Structure formats: C-alpha cells, structure tokens
Amino acid sequence: MKVTMLIHEAPEDVAARTDPARAAAYWGAWKAYADALGATGMVQGGAGLQGPETATLVRGAAVLDGPYSETREQLGGYFTLEVPDLETAKVWAARCPAAALGTIELRPHLVMMG
C-alpha cells in the first residue's frame, strides 16, 4: 500500500533548521531518520518544504500569496512510502524526529476506480 507521511512541526521547531545553536542537532536527527527509513527500501519520494510564508494558494481564479497556515503547526515535509500495511507506516511515523513535538499524519493513497 502507498502512504504519504505528512510531517507537521511547530514554527519554533522549523526555526531550528537555520538557528546556529540548534541546526546541527535538528539536521543530524533528520539525516539519521532519513537514512534508516531509506535503508528499508520503502521510500518512494519525499521532500522538506519551505515555510508557509513562501506558499501560494490558488482558489478558483484567485491566486494568493502566503502565509496561510491556520494552525499552530506547519507542514514541514513529507515522505511517500510503499509499505506492507498501515501498522508499518505507524511504526516509522512514531520514529520520526518531528513526532515528539509535532504531528505526523499518515494518508493512504486513493486507488482510482474505473
């Protein structure tokens, strides 16, 4: 089954990406996690995302520049995984560095009918 893991982090945690005092620990944890997850062979894709201030929303004919995050957490990135079952995805979501303070959302991909 294909699942996308959406990684939501608090703004102060996202700020660690560029904070000289915290960047090494932040990126070190993410590198270790991404390497371990990648070694499973389940990763189909993924990326870290720039902050919501870089967002552009398109609603109908209107194009609006961000930020538009209406929650305390920001979507910081995602992984697309091919997993044997949802339980496997849950195990890896719990291991994610952002899981301790943020939210990891797992979304199974929709299988198109017809």
% of the chain residues with pLDDT over 90 = 68
All domains in the chain, ordered by first residue = 2-108 (3.30.70.1060)
39-63 pLDDT, tens digit each:
999 999 999 998 888 888 887 877 7
CA atoms within 13 Å, Cβ hemisphere of 4: 11
CA atoms within 13 Å, Cβ hemisphere of 19: 10
60-106 pLDDT, tens digit each:
877 767 655 555 788 999 999 999 999 999 999 999 999 998 999 99
Instruction: Give the pLDDT score at 89.
Output: 97
pLDDT mean over 28-44: 97
